Amino acid sequence: MRLSRLASKKIFSALTAVLLGLFLLFPAGGSNSTLTSLPNAEASFFSNDLELFEEVIGLVGDKYVYAPDYKKMFMASIDKMIRALADENISLENESTGQSISTFDKNIRHTLGYNRESALETFKKAYYFLLEKSEGKLSKKKLEIAAVTGLMDSLDPYSKYMNADSFNKSMRDTEGSYGGLGMIVTMKDNRLYVVKTIKNSPAQRVGIQPDDIFEKVNGTNIEKIQISELADKLRGQPGTEVTVTLYRPSEKKKYSHTLNREIISIETVEYQTLKNKVGSIKITSFSKQTNDQLKEALTKAKRDKVKGFILDLRDNPGGLLEQSVKIASHFLYRNRLVVYTQGREQTDRDEYRAQYQNSLHSMPVVILINQYSASAAEIVAGALRDSGKALIIGENSYGKGTVQTIFRTSNGSGIRLTTSKYYTPSGTDITSQGIVPEIHIMKDRIPKNSTGASEQANIKFLQSGPASTIKLKETQINEFIVKNHSAVLKTPDPTLAFAKILIENVSIANKKKTLEKARDLAANIHY
């Protein structure tokens, strides 16, 4: 899932014809050289060659959150074009003074600078040279698409090029249902993990489990693709088949499943009133329906006269920015800052504030997060933490602090571009380490393996977070609950159980007082 503000814009770049960056052609392996003419880059001036590429360059130059590194972008584009040609006789090498494209009979050296116009002119020469070398195997359009893809992939993990089909899918409003398999997926360390399966979905029925790692879809390796690309492969018309291959780390085994796509209904809010009038709200993602579903949950909570809330954002990969603002608004004073975004320019700042007059700002809240809580989930957690009312329990969150905007290009395709970063009300950039909980809970109930991973995790856990962080282990909490609160929960979830005990013992929305109570409990747990 992504944190995004959808936009539809057309930006047309002016073509430039700057005579810079000349190529020198040398016979491969020879020292005596003769200059050979290249296809004229200025040939595109009166045509639509590279129109899309220049349009994308314009968008990146104007809208990207960071100052564009044109040298890096053009180098990535040339590399991608060469890879697209899949010709073993063509290779690219980086040199101290520039790059060289080697063919079976020539070596072409070129230098790319940081100036957009001059680097573009040099890139055009490489484009036409490679187009000539393709000998019709790759069309102008396909070679240009390769260049655009390489450029976008060089920016950051969340910026990408989308063909017309992918763009149209991204632009559709989330309606609460789709043809798919029923899985929530996240990316961690460049690998695609299953976060959870949806109840009674095809994925759940075949036994796909959280933490399973995607390896193939329909026999094709998907190791280096983004979440959105995986979604495109998994979704489709109901009744059609898709085969997935996943690796299960806990068993060190691979599993392949052939599943029929079905209409998957998305319920993003799960609510229950726990014993002693504690309201448990689990939000699985932030879709178009999330706020409406939360309103229904809060109506039930009011009926049940709950005294406080557990807001469970564990395994929540994020979603729509505006939905995260609405969700946070239910627990904050009206007009309190929820989040602000900052673009490249100092003036490019947008603030988002709490919207509701009759909120639940006086009720205590404990928020649960883990390493898969990302994006919009982090916005909610950061806003309530910074307000001084909510205590955070669990693990460091994912750390996705960027906003993506979708732009339409003139040929009907589009790009997803990182256009700003978001900050919590206190000005915290969570990209590097995520939201850090006041109470850090380690999952130490996982069986130890032969690699010593559990021991390493323990060391990392004890060293993590600020000195003020309360550090507990699931086994410690579980022992305490069994001994003192045996009937807290019907399901064994130590983190949720600890949060419930906290809410039972506080009466106002004050993080400091809740933390004091947490320290008292922790002292009893450390026995």
Active site residues: 375, 386, 400
Hey, CA dihedral for 275, 278, 279, 282, is it positive or negative? negative
288 burial class (0-12, 13-18, 19+ CB within 10 angstroms)?
middle
Residue count (the chain): 527
Helix (H) / strand (E) element for 347: namely: none
Gap between the Cα atoms of 500 and 278, Å rounded: 7
Task: Tell me how crowded residue 266 is: count the other CB atoms within 10 A of its CB.
Answer: 20
Question: Which one, of 286, 290, 287, 232, lies nearest residue 261 by Cα?
Answer: 232
Those residues with Cβ within 8 angstroms of residue 385's Cβ, 6 or more apart along the chain or in another chain: 367, 391, 392, 424, 435, 511
Helix 116-134 × helix 51-63 angle, to 10°: 150
Gap between the Cα atoms of 217 and 243, Å rounded: 6
Q: How many CA atoms lie within 13 A of 514 on its CB side?
A: 29
Q: Is 258 helix (H, G, I), strand (E, B) or coil?
A: strand
Q: Is 24 helix (H, G, I), strand (E, B) or coil?
A: strand
Q: Map 36-101 to HEC letters.
A: CCCCCHHHHCCCCCCHHHHHHHHHHHHHCCCCCCHHHHHHHHHHHHHHHHCCCCCEEEEECCEEEE
Gap between the Cα atoms of 470 and 198, Å rounded: 33
Task: Tell me how crowded residue 483 is: count the other CB atoms within 10 A of its CB.
Answer: 11
Query: With contact defined as beta carbons under 8 Å apart, do 180 and 234 qualify?
Result: yes
Those residues with Cβ within 8 angstroms of residue 238's Cβ, 6 or more apart along the chain or in another chain: 179, 260, 261, 262, 263
Helix (H) / strand (E) element for 110: namely: strand 106-110
